[in-house]
Structure 1
Amino acid sequence: MKVKHPKKIKRIPNITIENMNPKHSSYIIACSLLSFLSFGSLFAQETLNLEEVKKTAVSHSNSIKNGEIRIEQAEAAKREAIANYFPQINGQGTVLYGFNNNIIDPIQNILPIGIDNIYLASAGATEIIYAGGKVRNSSNLAGLQVETKTIQAEQSIDSVLYTTEDKYWQLVKVQEQLRSIQASKIYLTELLKQQEDLLGAGLIAKNQLLRVRTNRSRVLLQQSKLANMRKLALLDLGLYVGKIYDTTTVAIDTLRQVNPPQLKYSEPDLDLTGNDNYRLIEKSIEAARLMTKITKADLLPQVSVGVNAAYFGSFSNNLPGQFKPIGLGMVSIPISDWWGAGKEKVQQKILQEKIAQNNLEEQKDQLKIGIMKSWYDLIDAYKQINYAQENLYYTNENLKVQRDNYNSGLNNLTDLLDAQQQEEEAEAEYINAYANYKLAESKYLFVTDNLEDKYSEHYQNFN
């Protein structure tokens, strides 16, 4: 005699409830409600969205704060270099007093009583007229350091944004996996109730009931693992952005809607003009050139002029106070450096400049390779979504067929459970494909230096 089994609830969220045996409807509704209360109630708690999490991370990051401090340091060094354009002014005061003897003994007909104390006050200013361009190039180098630190500070923000996105989508991935495994639990719970009813009616053997219980235990264990993984991912994200979230906090994003990369990015962005990594390489070459010029300046004459004014006398009036202004000019020529250590220092700087130029070509190629790799990874990740979606469709259809056949007595419980597990695995692959796409997209935007577009206002603080 053919056993007529009740029809099953379809898989959530990809399967709807249809052709359900009325006697099981209240039980299934209760299971669904319990599942919603166990996970769906989280939506009544705090929720996260990617943009807010990024802003929190940017505000919290110590690397970004240190980047801003380094800019201030570089600007202070630039002001120090600019100060060398102005005269160097110094003052001096001296007092000499002889306790037991005169400092200057009496001189007949000139200084009859000698001098036992002397004071001297002077002030002078010195200005470098020519130093082989050393002052100018040192100032330019200091300005270049400000630009370099600014670029590095922008990179710090990019790095924080990229890491935040990575951690956020990892959280969403586990969250989606947890939803999927809960749908499997609901399906197997309903199937277990059906098997208990059939066993009670003497229509099936007990081993069929045990098979369902075994599969349900496996799903419950996986659910427990995923729940702990979600808490760990939430903690990891919270610690990184500087905010500890309650374990019931959920991310509002899902992994169900992505645009094909061809629609958002028509082709890989290989323009390195505005790429921060490329700009830093160019700055290193410019710095090497300036260092060569500064070192060469040490081989050239240095010309400076100055004025000095002094007032000196004696407290005992033995020497009347006098004011003496003078002017001075100085020329320094480092002759021995033309063939000695100075010449070798210049040669070292020239070689270092060549190394920097060679590095530019090599690193330029590496940057383009990195961009192309991230582009192909993005394309592959999107294709993987299509494959996973197609596989999930087939496993859903297979599960429907196996369920109908089982209900009609055309196949056994093993085939139905295998189909359910295959659909569960396909759902997991589907979720992984979406998560991998989001991570690949973030990586592509990071290596092409396009993450800052959403945070241009923050970047303006560096300019």
Structure 2
Amino acid sequence: MKTMRNIALALALIMPLALLAQRSYTADEISKMAIKHNISVRTADNQIQQAAETRKDTYTGFLPKVSGSAIGFAADKHLLDLDLGLASYSALKNGVSAGISVMQPIYAGGRISNSYKLSKYGEDAAEIQKNISIRQVGYNAQRYFWQVVNCKEALRTLDVSDSLLSKLHIDVSSAVKAGLKNRNDLLRVELEQNKNESARIKLNNGLKQCLLLLAQYIGKSQTDIDVSSVIEIGKLPVLFPMDISSLSKVEQRPEYKLLEKNVEISHTNLNIEKGKSLPTFSIGATYSYDNFFDKDNLSGAVFATVSIPISNLWEGGHNEKKANLQLQNARETLQDSKELLAIDIQKAHDDVIESWQQIKVASKSIVQAEENLRLNYNTYRVGTTTMTDMLEAQAALQSAKNEYIQAYAAYQLCIVDYKNKTE
């Protein structure tokens, strides 16, 4: 007996701690956690770092090229052996030589500066791509969030339906015992209760799966999270304020900025191809030391080089034409996408209004279904309405509430989508 009391005491202490460990998160908190945890955002960060390293590497093209060399040898006999008759001369049995050279490019047809621009554009594009990833991750997190809310609210609606059916079951049981109602009415109520029980099993399983997806997406355990969102079923929310002009928002879209960056990249690639046909000019200096004849020698020199790619004057023309066509395609794609993005923003605007109107219709349906149920309940008690009509009225109310929940969740997602496309 003492052991049982200890177990009960331990459970009493553990259960509140378990409840405290499970925290409820708002939609905004879920989005922030998903952005912090999601692999696509981390991948985007790595791509930004890679692009930054490429830019730093490209910058070294502006700097002098320094190289050093050294050689030493030892032979088994002199490499230089002269017999002059009266005398002989031998040398170069061993020796050393070392030197350093510096080459500074002065002009390379703009290829160095344009390559550096290209690397900066790549870094900018990586930043824009990260912004796109963040917005998509935030939207997906909201979608998972509202799926959980949808399941929880549907269960709450089912609780209300069960409560009504339980009350009806008590009333009908009393009426059957008193001989006022047919037992078939009671069986129909019990069948409806069985339907609710089956629906509850499906909803609980759906809720579990939705929580698993949400937890994985934000990097938490399913047992550690819950969502915090209370929907006032039947209440019409205030319509989200929106700007009616969609064209003014297009150029703020990261997708548009990415296409703009693609035009700049294509233009820079064209300049690089043109630069390949231009001469290059460099200056340099060398300094060397050698000891081949048992004597130290130091020497230095400065020089200038000019290189003219003569054959590229006709060979490079094909690459220039190809790069020019790519630039034209990038510009046309930008213009075409600008129009499509404007349509996309307009659609997001209209979707917000449409989803709000769906909530409005669902709210009216709830009021009408509640009144219909009330009338059917009263008329059934006096015997002028059948049990079938009564149960259909109850099912209609439950369906109206579920439609409201779905419409409300869709409305919230439409708002997130509109914000992503306009802010």
TM-score by length of 2: 0.90
> In the alignment, is the contact (CA less than 8 A) between 2:71 and 2:96 conserved in 1?
yes
Pairing partner for 2:400 from 405, 412, 426: 426
Aligned residues of 1:87 and 1:125 also touching (Cα < 8 A): yes
1:64 aligns with 2:41: yes
Amino acid at match of 1:299: S
**Match in the other structure for 2:80:** 104
Report if aligned partners of 1:78, 1:143 keep a CA contact under 8 Å in 2. Answer: yes
1:254 maps to 2:218: no
Supply the distance in 2 between the matched residues of 1:80 and 1:44 (Cα, whole angstroms): 49
Whether 2:287 is the aligned partner of 1:313: answer no
For residues 48 and 59 of structure 2, what CA distance do their matches in structure 1 show? Answer: 17
When residues 337 and 110 of structure 1 are mapped into structure 2, their CA distance, relative to the original with a 3 A threshold, is farther
Q: Deviations over 1:212-249 (max 9, x none)?
A: 111111111111111111111111101111111228x5
| Counterpart residue type for residue 176 of structure 2 | L
Structure 2 stretches of 5 or more lacking a match? 1-17
Local SS of the residue matching 1:409? coil
Is the counterpart of residue 184 in structure 1 residue 161 in structure 2?
A: yes
Cα offset, 1:336, TM superposition = 1.1
Paired residue for 2:324? 350
Q: Counterpart of 1:20?
A: none
1:215 alignment counterpart: 192
- Higher helix fraction (1 or 2): 2
Equivalent residues in 2 for 1:145-184, closer than 5 Å: 145-184=122-161
Q: Are residue 367 (structure 1) and residue 341 (structure 2) matched?
A: yes
Q: Could you tell me how far 1:160 is from its partner in structure 2? A: 1.0
C-alpha distance in structure 2 between counterparts of 1:43 and 1:176, whole Å = 22
Rounded to whole Å, the distance in 1 between the matches of 2:111 and 2:409 is 55
State the partner residue of 2:297. 322
- Pick closer, same or farther for the CA change 1:86–1:265 going to 2, 3 Å: same
* Distance in 1 between residues matched to 2:281 and 2:237, nearest whole Å: 67
> Where does 1:91-130 land on structure 2 (aligned, <5 Å)?
91-99=68-76, 101-106=77-82, 108=84, 112-130=89-107
Amino acid at match of 1:254: V
- Which residue of structure 1 lines up, in the alignment, with residue 384 of structure 2? 410
Kindly state the Cα deviation for residue 107 of structure 1 after the two structures are TM-superposed: 6.5
Give, in angstroms, the shift of residue 110 of structure 1: 10
The question of whether the paired residues in 1 share the 8 Å contact of 2:236 and 2:360 is answered with: no
Structure-2 change in CA distance of 1:144 and 1:369 (3 Å): same
String of CA shifts for 1:37-85, please: whole Å, max 9, x gaps. Answer: xxxx989953221122222212211211111111111111111121111
Residue 56 of structure 2 is aligned to residue 82 of structure 1: no
Whether the 8 Å CA contact 2:286–2:301 is kept in 1: the answer is yes
Structure 1 regions of 5+ residues with no counterpart?
1-40, 451-463
Kindly provide the CA deviation profile for residues 25-44 of structure 1, in whole angstroms up to 9, marking residues without a partner as x. Answer: xxxxxxxxxxxxxxxx9899
SS at match of 2:81: coil
Q: CA deviation at 1:120?
A: 0.6
Distance 1:141 1:309, change over 3 A: same
Contact 2:236 2:363 in 1 (8 A): no
Q: Which residue of 2 aligns with 1:197?
A: 174
Q: Which residue in the other structure is 1:338 paired with? A: 313
* Distance in structure 1 (CA, Å) of the matches to 2:358 and 2:122: 45
Corresponding residue of 2:362: 388
Residues 426 and 193 of structure 1: CA distance in aligned 2, closer, same or farther (over 3 Å): same
Structure 2 equivalent of residue 131 of structure 1: 108
2-structure distance, mates of 1:304, 1:46: 66
- Mapped to 2, the partners of 1:215 and 1:49 lie a distance apart of 35
2:236 and 2:340 map into 1 onto residues whose CA distance is 29
CA pair 258-114 structure 1, distance change in 2 beyond 3 A? farther
In structure 2, the CA distance between the partners of 1:254 and 1:268, relative to structure 1 (3 Å rule), is farther
Distance (Å, rounded) in 2 between the aligned partners of 1:89 and 1:61: 44
Instruction: State how far apart, in whole Å, the 2-side matches of 1:43 and 1:373 are.
Output: 43
Amino acid at match of 1:251: V
Distance in 2 separating the partners of 1:44 and 1:133 = 62
Which amino acid letter does the alignment assign opposite residue 329 of structure 2?
I
Q: Counterparts of 1:169 and 1:158 in 2: how far apart (Å)?
A: 17
Distance in 2, Cα, partners of 1:110 & 1:354: 79
The percent of aligned pairs where both chains have the same amino acid is 28
Deviation at 1:283, TM superposition (A): 0.2
Return the alpha-carbon distance in structure 2 between the equivalents of residues 289 and 168 of structure 1: 44
- Matched residue SS, 1:311: strand
- For residue 5 of structure 2, what is the aligned residue in structure 1? none
Shift of 1:418: 1.3
Structure 2 SS opposite 1:435? helix
| Cα distance, 1:91–1:424 mapped onto 2, change above 3 Å | same
Cα pair 1:268 1:371 within 8 Å, conserved: no
Partners of 1:307 and 1:45 in 2: CA distance: 71
Tell me the residue number matched to 1:436.
410
Report if aligned partners of 1:43, 1:250 keep a CA contact under 8 Å in 2. no
Q: Is the 2:242–2:349 Cα contact (8 Å) retained in structure 1?
A: no
User: 1:202 Cα shift?
Assistant: 2.3
Rounded to whole Å, the distance in 2 between the matches of 1:75 and 1:409 is 80
Deviation at 1:296, TM superposition (A): 0.7
Q: Which amino acid aligns with 1:402?
A: N
Separation in 1 of the partners of 2:142 and 2:22?
A: 22
Provide the aligned length of Structure 1 versus Structure 2: 402
Residue 300 of structure 1 corresponds to 278
Separation (CA, whole Å) in 2 of partners of 1:306 and 1:57? 55
Secondary structure in structure 1 of the residue aligned to 2:205: helix
- Following TM superposition, by how much is the alpha carbon of 1:259 offset from its aligned partner in structure 2, in angstroms? 4.3
Counterpart of 1:102 in structure 2: which amino acid?
H
After superposition, give the CA deviation of every residue in 1:66-105 in whole Å (9 maximum; x if it has no partner).
1111111111111112111111111111112223x32333
Please tell me whether the aligned partners of residues 79 and 93 of structure 2 are also in contact (alpha carbons under 8 angstroms): yes
